Chain A
């Protein structure tokens, strides 16, 4: 008997698992599409295509628009890409890096004019630096960077 064929069923089993995995990944990524999010402007351009569907909006949290109730965990803010903006409502604890002027993606649906988010993620820029002593963060600059890096 060939010494290798003792082992080859293990490899065949492994290959079947891998092929199943590839199939699973392809089906789950094709469902959500390769475009992870759309901007508010892109939504407005194609409202008919997206309305009444669960979509993921990506943009920047407008400054002075964040209202968070720590008791009810109700979060309200305005998402903008510089040209278009929508009010967003979300219930839950936002990620630690959630702040005005930072990039976010929100998955959800429009209820009336408000975007009802079910999942909130932070999309940060690729810039890394140490804070300078007594520094006040320059949100406008960060906003530009996130728009560039989307």
Chain B
């Protein structure tokens, strides 16, 4: 069994990209939200 054969056997590999996409959206989104909130607060509280 070589790596190429194993890879061909799996039709679910797209889930790997979904997982990493979700991680980027979730963690990145949360960090982005916090950064924006901080900017806003800095404006409001000098």
Q: Which A residues fall within an 8 A CB radius of B?
A: 96, 130-131, 133-137
Contact = CB atoms under 8 A, between A and B. Distances in A.
Interface of B: 1-3, 6, 9-12
A131 B2 contact: yes
B10 A137 contact: no
Contacts of A131: 1-3, 6
Contact of A137 (B1, B2, B11): B1
B9 A96 contact: yes
Contacts of B2: 131, 133-134
B3 A130 contact: yes
B3 to A, nearest CB: 7
Nearest to A97: B10
Contacts of B12: 96
Contacts of A134: 2
Contacts of A96: 9-12
5 contacts: A96-B9, A96-B11, A130-B3, A131-B2, A136-B1
A109 to B, nearest CB: 30
